[in-house]
Amino acid sequence: MDTPITLDNGIRGKVLRIPTANPTGFHQAISEPQAMSPAQIFGNLFLPRGGGPWPVVIVVPGSLGVAPSHVAKAAYLTQAQIAACVIDPFDARGVTSTVANQAQYSFAASAWDVLATAERLAARSDIDQARIGAQGHSRGGSAILSAACMARLVKSGGAQPLVGVYAAYPWCGQQFKRPEVGRAIVRSVIGDRDEWCLPQQVQGHMQAIRLCGGKASCRIFSGAHHSFDRDTAIELIADASVAPDAPTTYIAEDGALIDPWTGRADPMLSERDLMIRSFRAGYGHRGARIGSADDQAKHFHDDMMDFWTAVMSGPQPP
C-alpha cells in the first residue's frame, strides 16, 4: 500500500504516510500514551472527481490484510462523492496475516491506527473534518468500534471524533464496558453462519451502545458466512484460530482489561493472556469459512451505501 492504486473507475489513489503507534494494550493507549512505541503505516486516499472538501470513510481490513474487496469499497464510495482511505496496518509492521495468531500486535494498536488516520485526514484541506467515518472488516470492525469509544478517553487529547462507523462482521469478544461513541452513528452487519465471530456478541454490543445513549443498529444476514462481501466462493481457511464462544472481555475506562473469570480490572492483564486462557478452557479451534453465495455481496454493498449516503448527507453538528 506504499504505492498508488488505481480503481476500476479510473480514480488513482494518493499514498499517505500515517504516523501511528504500537501500544501494548488499551491501558497503555489510554492511560500511558507517552509510553507507546511509534509506528508508521500507509494508506491510499481516493478522492472523487471535482472539488472538495470531501466526506471520507477510512476502510480497515481484517486478519487477511488488504484484499481486492476492500479496495473495491473505495470505488463504491467515490462514485457516491465520498472519499475513501484504505489503510494497510500489516505491511509496515512486517505482518502478512493474523488469522493464525491475533497477538502479533495488539487490538489497541488496530484502534489507534484508526484514530491516527482520522487525525491525518482531518489536517487536509480537501477533507471535511466534520465528516470522517470508518468502515472495518472483521478485526478491522473491532478496531473501528474501539476507536469510536477511545476518542473521548485518550489522555493525549485531540482525537478526531468519527461521524459514522460501519462494522462488518466484527469480533466483539473484547469491548468497552461503557461504549460511549459520541456523535457517531454505528451499524454492524454479520451473517448468521459466521464461524469467526458470534452474532449474539455483536447484537449485545450494539444494544450496549444504545443503552449508553448512542445510535446503533445491527443487521444479521441469513445464510451468510464471514466476509460475505468478498464476492468469492466460500472457502475454508484451515489455519484460522478462532474462539467465537469464549467469554466477552470488557475494557475499563482507563483501558485495563477486566478478567472474565474474576471480574477484576487488571492493567497488567494482556490480550494474549486472555486468548491463551480461552483456548485452554476449550473455546478455541482451527478452521473457519469465508466467502459469498448467491447475491450476498450485492446485498452487503446495498446496505453499506444506504448507510454511508445517509450518514454523510445528513445534518452535521457545528
Q: Which residue has the cell 494474549?
A: 272
- 220-236: per-residue pLDDT in tens? 999 999 999 999 999 99
Type of residue found at 185:
I
Q: How far is CA 282 from the centre of its chain?
A: 27
**Structural domain contains residue 204:** yes
- Look at phi and psi of residue 105 and say left if phi exceeds 0, alpha if psi is from -120 to 50, else beta: beta
3, part of any domain = no
Q: Which residues pair with 208 in a beta bridge?
A: none
In a domain, 95, yes or no: yes
Q: Are 33 and 156 in contact (CB under 8 A)?
A: yes
Looking at residue 63, what is its pLDDT?
Answer: 84
Average pLDDT over residues 179-194: 97
113: confidence class by pLDDT, cuts 50, 70, 90: very high
For residue 164, the model assigns a pLDDT of 97
Share of the chain above pLDDT 90, in %: 85
Q: What is the predicted pLDDT for the residue at 125?
A: 96
- Cα separations in angstroms, 25 against 29, 226, 281: 6, 26, 23
Instruction: Let me know if residue 134 belongs to a domain.
Output: yes
Look at residue 4 and tell me if it is in a domain. Answer: no
Arithmetic mean of pLDDT over the chain: 94
Cell of 279: 483456548
Spatial strand order in the sheet of 185-191: 14-22, 37-46, 83-88, 54-60, 127-137, 164-168, 185-191, 215-221
For residue 8, is it within any domain? no
Residue 9 lies in a domain: no
Q: Give the whole-angstrom CA distance, residue 106 versus residue 250.
A: 15
Mean pLDDT of 287-313: 97
Q: What are phi and psi of 248, to 5 degrees?
A: -70, 135
- pLDDT tops 90 at residue 316: no
pTM of the model: 0.95
For residue 187, CA distances in Å to 51, 72, 94, 203, 296 come to 29, 20, 31, 10, 18
> Can you tell me the mean pLDDT for 204-218?
98
Q: What is the pLDDT of residue 277?
A: 92
Count of domains for the chain: 1
Position 205 pLDDT exceeds 70: yes
The CATH number of the domain holding residue 75 is 3.40.50.1820
Instruction: Please compute Rg for the chain using Cα positions.
Output: 18
**How many angstroms separate the CA atoms of 92 and 104, rounded?**
13
Residue-number span of the structural domain to which 57 is assigned: 14-312
CB-CB neighbours of 240 under 10 Å: 21
- Assigned domain for 318 exists: no
- Report, as an integer, the average pLDDT of 299-307: 98
- Read off the pLDDT of each residue in 173-195 and give the average, rounded to a whole number: 97
